[in-house]
Structure 1
Amino acid sequence: MLKSRPIAQAASAIKISSRGFHPHPGTGDTRVATRVYSPYAARRQQHFFRSVATVIVLGSFATAWQWSRELHAEEPPAANEPQFEKPRKKASSKEENRDIISSQHLQVRRSWENPGVYAWGSNAGKVVAPDSNEPFIKTARRIPYFDGKVLRDVKLDKTYGAAIDDKGDLIQWGTQFSTEDYTPQVTLRHKDLVSLSLSRDRIIALSSNGTVYSIPASKSDQQAGSKCQESSWVPFWTSRASISYRKIEPSNLAWGEKISSVSSGIEHALLLTTKGRVYSFASASDTFPSRGQLGIPGLLFRTRPAGPADQPHEITTLRGFPITQISAGDHHSLAADRDGRVFAFGDNSFGQLGLDTSEPSFVDTPALVPLTRLYSGTSQVPRVTRIAAGGTNSYFTIDATRVASAADDESESRSARLAMGRVTADTWACGQGIWGALGNGRWTHVASTPVKIPSLSGLYEYDEAAKQAIPIRLARLSVGTNHVAAVMDNVTEVSAADSRYASENATNWGADILFFGNNEFYQLGTGKRNNVSNPVYIQPLDAVAERKVRGKEEHRFQITPKKKVSVNGRKVEMEQRVECGRHVTAVYSGV
């Protein structure tokens, strides 16, 4: 039986080591040693605990941060405080209140109170701003000479302008008219002119009695040229004309037949008679039409009949088609009859005739434009309501009427019956589109097949008077060399404030007007120089007056429709009209 050794002996038998606790080799004791305190081991233990605590604290912090982030992300956003419209200035009258609440009402009112001419675009010929040396007029600017005046017609070229005042007298201005005085001047009086058109160097003017005058654009040519004898109100008394001009007189007009419309390109012009016949003639002094735009097969300068170079020729191939509209581009011509058919002739280099460009580059005989194929398979019957030509483009507005079709099956019979007779008003364009003049959002070099202008097609509005939806047609297209203005025939209001019992919130509004095409000379009036291939609005003509009343709010220009108003103490039926010329545009007060 073993005897226990004293504790002191047992303790001495144990070797204290930094690596652990081991029995002393000399004792032979094989029992497990009892752990004895070591300062180094204690330090390692404290370091371990500190490391673990640090990891735990950092982990807890990261967990708490992530939880707070997720909680914050899930919180609903704080509600925004409602923004209330600032109160408008208090109006002192019903009319002032209408001006404040409606930009359109303000525009209509000012067009009546301040008739005149606004112009913009190229000013190289001192046409849009005769008193300025600026090369371009970027936005609408009034021509001071015409302030307070109403006009029968205005036409502009880049180097000269012409207008007819309310008395029927001719007014001219620009650098091509005079190299000394660019301001407007009356040149031809007492002819009761009603409309005019411009060629390269002559003005083709139509009087109320159907007489057509060809007048030099240059003042020096007017003074130097031969002057014809004119009759006077005194019987058997004649006098010499004040300026040189020529009368364009078709030789075979019937009894009671007279010229009702004129349209001119650069070198040629068209005449339309009251009996639906069409004549053409050379309208420029220095060149003779050579691209078939006269509509007379084989007619050139060397083959022309004896007589003056500008004698008119009847387009006999159009006999039997009562023509109601004519329009001339630079080197091509359009004619539409009362049944909605369109005939085209002249230059077709860019497809402006609406005919296949694989044909010869020009057509000297009127050809029927195949517009019905545009509606093939649509159960719609098209009828042309308006034509317009300018530069190298042609435009057609069409009423397409829904009719019964064999394609309407039983499942669609009800919807087909409801759509029966429905009219869709569309606008189509052909010719050169590299400047955006096709209006379809594309930059096409040649378009011989007409393309639809989406912004001007298939539009409807609700007519309160008729109590139904009606198609929005085009009232007018004005075509310059390569830019266009489209006036919509939307519902307008110009008598809202006529009665003293009318509400203070009753306002007038005009017709929408849009611009597209070339803008190299700022002729679109947007204030920028980029070309536009989709029709766009522009700012009001009198932007300064607009801001004085309505602040910095942006509004679009609306053109004022016809209304009888007081101008300079007399009642006249007046409207605003737009004219696109060669790189220039004008809006004037027309009667």
Structure 2
Amino acid sequence: MSGPRYVPYAVRQLNRANTRTATISPYAARRQQHFVRSVATVTAIGALATGWQWYNGRGGILREAHAEEPPPDPEMKFEKPRKKGLSKDANRDLISSQHLQVRRSWENPGVYAWGSNSGRVVAPDSSEANIRTPRRIPFFDGLLLRDLKMDRTFGAAINEKGDLLQWGTGYSKDSNSPEVTLRGKNLTALTISKDRILALNSNGDVYSLPVSKEDQEKGVKPSESSWIPFWSSSSPISYRRLSPKDLPWGERVTSVSAGLEHALLLTSKGRLFSAAAASADFPTKGQLGVPGLTWTTRPEGAYDQCHEITTLRGFEISKIAAGDYHSLAADKDGRVFGFGDNSLGQLGVDYSPESSFVDAPSLLPIQKLYAGTSQAPKVTDVAAGGANSYFTIEATKIAAPGQADDASAQRGLGRVTADTWSCGQGIWGTLGNGRWTHVQATPTKIPALSGLFEYDEAAGRVVPIRLSRLSVGTNHVAAVMKNVTHTGASSASSENDTNWGADIVFFGNNEFYQLGTGRRNNLANPTYIQPLDQVAERKLRGKEEHRFQITPRKTVDVGGRRVSIEQRVECGRGVTAVYSGL
């Protein structure tokens, strides 16, 4: 097997070709009749000429006939012989672009970025306004990261040591390379708001610090304990701690997600908290999930204190996502709740002219999406960005009422179909359904990411192709498929045994070339892009076209040590990045 069998686009094109029909106009019909008469006349003249020649031949006036020589057989072209003495990996690189991509991602870890460079984020050492195709950021060559987030004016990343790196004009107008800002906190994950960075560490502590270097230097610097007993000192930079009150022993924050002005904090016990996350603006669109909470009604204390969303008590929340001004939360039983701004239908419920937002968690009617299908849906993940929401759903076939004894209805029971749905603003193509809908309140299925199956040779059966992850920027999206991958090619396996990664597609707004296609047109259908390292590709295959596949997690040798790494994609505001993640 040389690669995945996931080809939804070719299949759709074939289906379109098979379903086309043609109609004939009256004018075309008259021309067709005239053509038939002409053919009949020419045929009659030809028959008379043939009879005349036959008659002359019988009379002894035979004419010499010269038959044309048949055209020579076309020359068969064979594949050029491979160079002798090639190593197994060199041979694999020649026969598989996917193998080359996987190998180079292990041997040359780093960050590729593209899109708007107005804030010198995707190319800190360049003055170009936009970076049209993936380009490496030299600073990160050979480095592994725990997390990375980008905005048009600033970037933030966590290095292998757990320290925070920042760059871009939003951080400092003089910035031309990432700098370490928050040290020694063992950070594990990041999220960003309009003007602050929220970083989670391994103990569940959440640090909120301003993006601006000037604000970090001039702001209030908290006291920090030292390794020396009874000794403390001020932090080198200004930051705040976001801490949910009265967490019992053993409960800690495990996940964070932020919009422009708010943040969601999920604990290990499935409880959900929210907090203000911007320095200048307090959330006003209900995205905190606390009815009636405003700047004037907030309780005493810090403006960015954490508030438990008590409406969700009793639901063990497992997934969270924040758009610009709205929030999503899914529980372990597959239910999903939304709250915040709904002016473009991003909560998956009809817009109400009486109020453009919902300030208390509202249960989305996911069951209605599968009414009459004999399928039981369960939400497995949520994603959000800008004014859009996305839900991945596993729909299991069940027996319809009254068909328990119907043999035909019993076929396929228990079969799982993996679907992806979207709602909200679609004017940029971010719904992914091929349409440019301004407002989409009822979730719509993304055909290219739904109902897909492939044969898994290891399992010996057909399996659904699930979605591994969605990364959502303000108005563009990257989708990583969870198709069958292979990273087991080794010196012990055949020279034709190649590695391949996971399919990744992009769609939505492309104003700043953030989709990575090299063109500026928006895309309402998910599409592939070319490999990240096109120079390496062309050295082996010239201009032969291949698609980018992202490398799944694998333990490999990096710099003489064994490390478990994978490639990850991040979409921000008009920017996109792929990095080597721990």
Which bin holds the TM-score, normalised by the shorter protein?
Answer: 0.7 to 0.9
- Note if 1:324 corresponds to 2:318: yes
Secondary structure, aligned partner of 1:444 = coil
The counterpart of 1:361, out of the listed 356, 359, 367, is 356
- Note if 1:508 corresponds to 2:519: no
| Whole-Å separation in 1 of the counterparts to 2:115 and 2:374 | 44
Matches within 5 A, 1:535-574: 535-574=526-565
The counterpart of 1:419, out of the listed 412, 416, 437, is 412
Q: Aligned-pair distance for 1:552?
A: 1.8
The counterpart of 1:483, out of the listed 453, 470, 476, is 476
Q: Deviations over 1:261-289 (max 9, x none)?
A: 00000000000011111111110000000
- Note if 1:116 corresponds to 2:107: no
- Note if 1:399 corresponds to 2:394: yes
Q: Aligned-pair distance for 1:358?
A: 3.0
| Whole-Å separation in 1 of the counterparts to 2:483 and 2:216 | 43
- Structure 2 residue aligned with 1:586: 577
- Structure 2 residue aligned with 1:135: 129
Q: Aligned-pair distance for 1:76?
A: 11
Does the CA-based 8 Å contact 1:296-1:315 persist in structure 2? yes
Report the CA distance shift for 1:344/1:85 in structure 2 as closer, same or farther (over 3 A): same
Q: Which has the larger radius of gyration?
A: 1
Q: Aligned-pair distance for 1:490?
A: 0.6
Report the CA distance shift for 1:565/1:407 in structure 2 as closer, same or farther (over 3 A): same
| Whole-Å separation in 2 of the counterparts to 1:362 and 1:407 | 41
Q: Aligned-pair distance for 1:87?
A: 3.9
- Structure 1 residue aligned with 2:375: 380
Letter in 1 for 2:464: P
- Structure 1 residue aligned with 2:56: none
Q: Deviations over 1:86-113 (max 9, x none)?
A: 4444461111001111111000000000
Matches within 5 A, 1:282-321: 282-321=276-315
- Structure 2 residue aligned with 1:21: none
Does the CA-based 8 Å contact 1:91-1:97 persist in structure 2? no
| Whole-Å separation in 2 of the counterparts to 1:462 and 1:91 | 35
Report the CA distance shift for 1:67/1:186 in structure 2 as closer, same or farther (over 3 A): farther
- Structure 2 residue aligned with 1:221: 215
- Structure 2 residue aligned with 1:466: 459
Does the CA-based 8 Å contact 2:404-2:410 persist in structure 1? no
* Further displaced range: 500-509 or 572-581: 500-509
Q: Deviations over 1:509-549 (max 9, x none)?
A: 10000000000110000000000000000000000011112
The counterpart of 1:210, out of the listed 187, 197, 204, is 204
Letter in 2 for 1:381: A
| Whole-Å separation in 1 of the counterparts to 2:188 and 2:107 | 24
Secondary structure, aligned partner of 2:381 = strand
Report the CA distance shift for 1:76/1:483 in structure 2 as closer, same or farther (over 3 A): farther
Secondary structure, aligned partner of 1:425 = strand
Report the CA distance shift for 1:417/1:226 in structure 2 as closer, same or farther (over 3 A): same
Q: Aligned-pair distance for 1:415?
A: 3.7
| Whole-Å separation in 2 of the counterparts to 1:155 and 1:181 | 17
Secondary structure, aligned partner of 1:419 = coil
Paired residue total = 522
| Whole-Å separation in 2 of the counterparts to 1:114 and 1:335 | 37
- Structure 2 residue aligned with 1:189: 183
Secondary structure, aligned partner of 2:215 = helix
| Whole-Å separation in 1 of the counterparts to 2:77 and 2:235 | 70
Q: Deviations over 1:13-61 (max 9, x none)?
A: xxxxxxxxxxxxxxxxxxxxxxxxxxxxxxxxxxxxxxxxxxxxxx99x
- Structure 2 residue aligned with 1:389: 384
- Taking structure 2 as the reference length, the TM-score comes to 0.87
Matches within 5 A, 1:149-160: 149-160=143-154
| Whole-Å separation in 1 of the counterparts to 2:450 and 2:439 | 21
The counterpart of 1:577, out of the listed 547, 563, 568, is 568
| Whole-Å separation in 2 of the counterparts to 1:438 and 1:90 | 50
Q: Deviations over 1:128-180 (max 9, x none)?
A: 00000100000000000000000000000000000000100000000000011
Report the CA distance shift for 1:116/1:76 in structure 2 as closer, same or farther (over 3 A): same
For structure 2, the residue ranges without an aligned partner over 5 or more in a row are: 1-40, 51-68
The counterpart of 1:264, out of the listed 258, 261, 264, is 258
| Whole-Å separation in 2 of the counterparts to 1:233 and 1:436 | 53
Percentage of identical aligned residues: 67
Letter in 2 for 1:493: H
Matches within 5 A, 1:517-528: 517-528=508-519
Letter in 1 for 2:346: Q
Letter in 2 for 1:129: A
- Structure 2 residue aligned with 1:430: 423
- Note if 1:163 corresponds to 2:157: yes
Q: Aligned-pair distance for 1:234?
A: 1.9
Letter in 2 for 1:508: N
